[in-house]
Structure 1
Amino acid sequence: MKKPLAYLGLALALLLPAAHLQAQTADKPKADQPKTVRITYVTAPFNVPSIVMREKGFLDEAFAAKGIKVENPVITSGAQQTQAIAAGEIDIASVLGGTSAILAAANGVPLKVVAAYARSPKAYFLMTRADGPAKLADLKGKKIAGPKGTVLNQLLVAALASQNLKLSDVEYINMDLPAARAALLAGQVDVATLAGANVTQVEKAGGRALTSGEGLIKPTTVIGANAAFLEKHPDLVAAYFAAHHKALDFMAKNPEEALAIAAKEQKITIEDARAQLPLYDFAPAMTDADVANLTEDQAFMIEAGMLPKAKAIDLKATLIAPSAFTLR
């Protein structure tokens, strides 16, 4: 009668070393695993998930479990992020304008869109001072500052096109958001393409909006990855999304704390932060609507002369990773 128990004990004795070895193997890093992962940190216009992820340490935590350190270079320009991907200097572009992603892929940059970041047409503006141009038709010949190769660049082109004007009809100066805001308030330019806290600061200084992106563009910012990194290390991309989803969950469960964290990082009041947040949809799963919007963006860039027609790409086949549609 005791034999079954004896056999059970023998079976457990044989299984335990194997289980222990399996656990040890699971904790061991892969031989080709990088020591450092480079993921850009972009706060503007109002990238609350990224801000929360960094402040709460979710990203460092996710990669520390794999024995990997995280570097967060601050690169706000979409063009500079895609250049860094092309040079192998970053692995994940955490917030990238859809137009920047399309232009990069069309020009041979090994980039894959792995998720949507945000959808926010009401968050992008052409701003001017109280004494600036009264309407869009008055933009001809004016000095306009803002980051080239971005959603704001596209907004400017669309706003000008609505008045039968082109970029060549204005003096367009490449500046990041804080520099463009400062140049506008100092009277050095007539208009600035701005978003997020920079818009609020101009309004508080007496400035006003000429237009938002609503009705002109349907911007989708995305998360991009170096294609080789995605292919070689899908587990590390998954680790990134574990942290990203943790930030989204934190925002849902602790909205006031998340707003306070974002307001502090953006140097705005909690009231201003609360007014900004509803302008954004941060759901990461790509949808057919996102693909349609990006397809419209590509068609618009071709029409506006920003992208040669011969370089147009099939977005689903060339740019967007299939996994981008299955994120929760």
Structure 2
Amino acid sequence: MGNTSLRRRLAVVLALWVTVIVPAAAAAETLRIGYQKYGTLVVLKARGTLEQQLAPLGVTVQWVEFPGGPQLLEALNVGSLDVGVAGETPPVFAQAAGADLLYIAHEPPAPTSEAILVHRDSPIRDLAQLRGHKVALNKGSNVHYLLVRALESAGLTWRDIQPVYLPPADARAAFERGAVDAWAIWDPYLAAAQAQLPVRVLADATGLADNHQFYLARGDWAARHPQRVVTLIAAIREVGEWSAREPQQVADQVAPLLGLSPAITLNAVQRQGYGAQPLSPEVVAAQQRIADSFAALKLIPKPLSVAQRVWTPPADGEH
């Protein structure tokens, strides 16, 4: 009798677990966001407004930092992230590799927030003089396209330089010890180098590249959660508008997260573009030009269509 009574109690407990605990676990959802040491997502993370908006829906937010767009989009591709941010070039390489990604929004151009640096006493005085020299860059990052366009503007080709593919921290170390002659880099690494190292800007992206920032989502996640995408874009746009109005507050808030001084951070903050919006035909066309350029240079295996990977916002009332 004792064993029968015990089995009955266990059966009741198991039934309660199945009917209460399991559905609760199934209902829980985590939005996994990849970000980098720059941009509006850093501010959104610091302010916590997205968490406040999603909490009533039973959604928590997990933030994951990456050193660059290529690494972030690889995580997106393998399913470790739902959404993230990257510059112009990483999505092209990711799409060419077959990644299931969608462009969901972009920020306005920010051409002064990426540049090609040389040492202050370097004999290299213009872009044409990069011929034969070693240039450090993060392969597949936004500065990859900047360097391509900069070389073209000087009548050079990719074969005229010696690219050295390194992530930002390693590239800075190589640049400091003189192992490379130039360094293509973006903010806030750019702002930090300008403040901390004896460098000259050989060229920024002005007149060469728009340097858009793109927000991207896994295609399957965006298809399941269109309203989550709408909420996220609205939150990014709202905090971006605040950032544009209050750059000093942004710098003071974000500097400790970046491990940089408020002055360095402010320089990077003021060079960003703010105001996330769905992609316009003009932005799609600009991104297509980048894809076509890389296909022509054989940096990606075949041509691709950017327009096929642009997310379409849901119609009003659609869920």
**TM-score interval w.r.t. the shorter chain?**
0.7 to 0.9
1:229 and 1:272, CA in 2 relative to 1: closer, same or farther beyond 3 A? same
Runs (5+) with no aligned partner, structure 2? 1-22
Matching residue of 1:282:
274
Tell me how far 1:80 sits from its aligned partner: 2.0
Matching residue of 1:293:
286
Distance 1:185 1:255 in 2: 30
Counterpart among 126, 130, 136 of residue 135 in structure 1: 126
Distance 1:239 1:76 in 2: 26
Corresponding residue SS for 2:35: coil
Matching residue of 1:4:
none
Counterpart among 155, 163, 167 of residue 154 in structure 2: 163
Corresponding residue SS for 1:40: strand
Matching residue of 1:225:
217
Structure 1, residues 158-178: CA drift from partner, whole Å, max 9, x if none?
Answer: 222233333333332222223
Corresponding residue SS for 2:213: strand
Between the two proteins, the alignment pairs up a number of residues equal to: 291
TM-score norm. by structure 1 comes to 0.79
Counterpart among 78, 81, 99 of residue 87 in structure 1: 78
1:98 and 1:203, CA in 2 relative to 1: closer, same or farther beyond 3 A? closer
Q: Which amino acid aligns with 1:141?
A: G
Quick check: 1:113–1:320 contact (8 Å CA) kept in 2?
yes
1:85 and 1:150, CA in 2 relative to 1: closer, same or farther beyond 3 A? same
Correspondence 1:96 to 2:86: yes
Counterpart among 87, 98, 117 of residue 107 in structure 2: 117
Corresponding residue SS for 1:322: coil
Counterpart among 78, 86, 98 of residue 69 in structure 2: 78
Tell me how far 1:320 sits from its aligned partner: 0.9
Distance 2:187 2:93 in 1: 24
Distance 2:165 2:28 in 1: 35
Matching residue of 2:237:
245
Q: Which amino acid aligns with 1:67?
A: G
Tell me how far 1:34 sits from its aligned partner: 5.3
Tell me how far 1:103 sits from its aligned partner: 2.7
Q: Which amino acid aligns with 1:110?
A: D
Structure 1, residues 86-115: CA drift from partner, whole Å, max 9, x if none?
Answer: 21111001x112222123223321111110
Corresponding residue SS for 1:230: helix
1:281 and 1:202, CA in 2 relative to 1: closer, same or farther beyond 3 A? closer
Tell me how far 1:221 sits from its aligned partner: 1.7
Tell me how far 1:325 sits from its aligned partner: 12
Percent of aligned pairs with the same amino acid: 23
Q: Which amino acid aligns with 2:198?
A: G
Distance 2:275 2:76 in 1: 24
Distance 2:184 2:69 in 1: 15
Matching residue of 2:17:
none
Distance 2:45 2:230 in 1: 17
Structure 1, residues 172-218: CA drift from partner, whole Å, max 9, x if none?
Answer: 22222233223212222111111223223333322101111112222
Tell me how far 1:70 sits from its aligned partner: 1.8
Distance 1:306 1:50 in 2: 29
The within-5 A match list for 1:1-328 is: 33=27, 35-44=29-38, 47=39, 49-93=40-84, 95-132=85-122, 133-204=124-195, 205-252=197-244, 254-285=246-277, 286-308=279-301, 310-313=302-305, 315-316=306-307, 318-323=308-313
Corresponding residue SS for 2:273: coil
Quick check: 1:97–1:221 contact (8 Å CA) kept in 2?
yes
Runs (5+) with no aligned partner, structure 1? 1-28
1:301 and 1:32, CA in 2 relative to 1: closer, same or farther beyond 3 A? farther
